[in-house]
Amino acid sequence: MYELFQSDKTEKFHFRLKAGNGEIILQSQGYADRKGAENGIASVTNNGADEANFEKKEASNGKHYFVLKAGNGQIIGQSQQYKTESGRDNGIASVGKNCGGDTKDLIL
């Protein structure tokens, strides 16, 4: 399920992809308008099922995370940090499983 929201602080639009259990598995950057965030959701839907579009990373604190990239190499969203590589890899699999969420699930 996708959640679309506007930040009170920055007034930018963001989206989150949630797994069936409600856990956030991917968070977007801020977009100037709602249409930009909706296009970002469409990009996750189009790119999230292909593991080749994910870049696995390690933070300076040693925790693992991933970013999802569009065909042009631009980052669409980023995961939370995971303690283990296997946790990160499970997060990638969860995006692939849940990225086909319907836009009717958008909330604001």
Q: At 40, list the tokens.
A: 């970002």
Q: For residues 13 and 34, is the Cβ–Cβ distance under 8 A?
A: yes
Could you tell me which of 80, 73, 74, 75 has the C-alpha nearest to residue 94?
Answer: 80
Name the burial class of residue 86, with classes exposed (0-12), middle (13-18) and buried (19+) by CB atoms within 10 angstroms of its CB.
Answer: exposed
- CATH code of residue 52: 2.30.29.80
Rounded CA gap, 25 and 72, in Å? 22
What Rg value do the Cα atoms of the chain yield, rounded? 13
Number of domains in the chain: 1
The 10s digit of each residue's pLDDT in 64-81 is: 999 999 989 999 999 999
Q: Residue 104 pLDDT more than 50?
A: no
pTM of the predicted model as reported, rounded to 2 decimal places: 0.88
Q: Residue 106 pLDDT more than 80?
A: no
Q: CA neighbours within 13 Å on the CB side: how many for 43?
A: 24
The 10s digit of each residue's pLDDT in 20-33 is: 898 999 999 999 99
Rounded CA gap, 71 and 63, in Å? 26
Range of the domain at 86: 2-105
